[in-house]
């Protein structure tokens, strides 16, 4: 397993800067952020232009970084957002992205909402078959799928060939059940498609400041969590994903990215 980094951390800068600085730090793969307002390195302008899309593919290849996934993080229950998500999957097929990540959308602990999410994902399986880009759902606070329990339930109702899980231990940590991710992650490994890593201190739903997301700044048992991920022998990358750096100056983003690498790389690699 090797360490990856989401370009979301460089959301305030062009993709060329993100690729260069992530690669120079030592990370081996990226989640290509495609989240308007936070980090949109696969914008509508790019995915609607075959020329720009091919140019982006060349830039990623030239960086030496593997494209682990596209990070879409959208509300699939919104028709406009869903159409954009499909376009991103089509772009991912051209770029060679094996997966696209998002939360499930919907409302926590609402049966109708959960059923709507299941039906929608089963419909989107058709797009997975057409593009080869697997949908990786993150159990996410405030969504229909938010915990180990709800993630396992989701996987009972979808085809694991097309739908998988994007497990971020910091979201499991903040469930009402106050999960210990190192204990619950193993049950999710059969369905694991992509994995995310960061720290967090409190159990409250809003994530804390950047400093608390940097490994060592929070309260999670990251060595045990990473050891749990390592039990999945075919998991190629564990990817750093931190929110809150978009308005940082470049030097400060670099500092965060480097500190995270120094803390995580010995545990991951």
Per-residue model confidence as pLDDT tens digits over 117-138: 999 999 999 999 999 999 999 9
Do the beta carbons of residue 176 and residue 208 sit within 8 Å? no
**pLDDT category, 167, cuts 50, 70, 90?**
very high
CATH number at residue 188: 3.20.20.150
Query: At 203, is the pLDDT very low, low, confident or very high (cuts 50, 70, 90)?
Result: confident
- On whether the CB atoms of residues 116 and 149 are closer than 8 A, the answer is no
Task: Determine the pLDDT at residue 88.
Answer: 98
Rounded Cα distance between 69 and 246, Å, is 20
Is the sign of the CA dihedral 227, 230, 231, 237 positive or negative?
positive
State the maximum Cα–Cα separation within the chain, in Å, rounded to a whole number.
Answer: 48
pLDDT tens digits for 15-57?
999 999 999 999 999 999 999 999 999 999 999 999 999 999 9
- Does residue 9 contact residue 240 with C-beta atoms inside 8 Å? yes
Q: Which residue has the tokens 């803390």?
A: 263
Q: Which helix (H) or strand (E) holds 99?
A: strand 99-103
- pLDDT value at 183 more than 90: yes
Parent domain of 158:
2-268
Res 269 pLDDT > 90? no
Q: Alpha-carbon distance 8 to 125, whole Å? A: 26
pTM of the model: 0.96
Instruction: Report how far apart, in Å, the C-alpha atoms of 160 and of each of 12, 121, 125, 231 are.
Output: 35, 11, 10, 19
Structural domain total, the chain:
1
- Percentage of the chain beyond pLDDT 70 is 100
Output the 3-class SS for 223-238.
HHHHHHHHCCCCCCEE
Radius of gyration of the chain (CA): 17
């Amino acid at each position: 397993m090797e360490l990856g980094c989401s370009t979301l951390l460089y959301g305030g800068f062009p993709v060329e800067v993100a690729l260069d600085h992530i690669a120079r730090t030592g990370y081996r793969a990226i989640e290509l952020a495609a989240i308007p307002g936070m980090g949109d390195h696969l914008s509508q302008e790019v995915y609607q232009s075959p020329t720009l899309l091919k140019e982006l593919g060349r830039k990623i290849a030239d960086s030496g970084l593997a494209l682990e996934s596209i990070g879409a993080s959208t509300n699939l229950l919104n028709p406009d957002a869903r159409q954009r998500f499909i376009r991103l999957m089509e772009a991912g097929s051209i770029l060679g992205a094996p997966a696209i990540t998002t939360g499930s959308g919907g409302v926590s602990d609402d049966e109708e909402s959960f059923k709507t999410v299941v039906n929608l994902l089963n419909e989107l399986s058709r797009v997975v078959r057409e593009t080869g880009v697997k949908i990786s759902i993150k159990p996410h606070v405030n969504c229909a799928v938010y915990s180990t329990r709800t993630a396992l339930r989701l996987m009972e109702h979808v085809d694991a060939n097309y739908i998988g899980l994007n497990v971020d231990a910091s979201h499991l940590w903040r469930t009402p059940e106050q999960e210990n991710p190192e204990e619950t992650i193993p049950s999710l490994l059969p369905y694991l498609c992509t994995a995310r890593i960061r720290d967090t201190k409190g159990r409250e739903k809003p994530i804390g400041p950047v400093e608390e997301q940097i490994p060592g700044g929070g309260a999670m048992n990251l060595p045990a969590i990473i050891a749990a991920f390592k039990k999945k022998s075919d998991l190629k990358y564990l990817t750093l994903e931190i929110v809150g750096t978009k308005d940082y100056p470049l030097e400060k983003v670099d500092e965060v990215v480097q500190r995270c690498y120094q803390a995580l790389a010995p545990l991951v690699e």
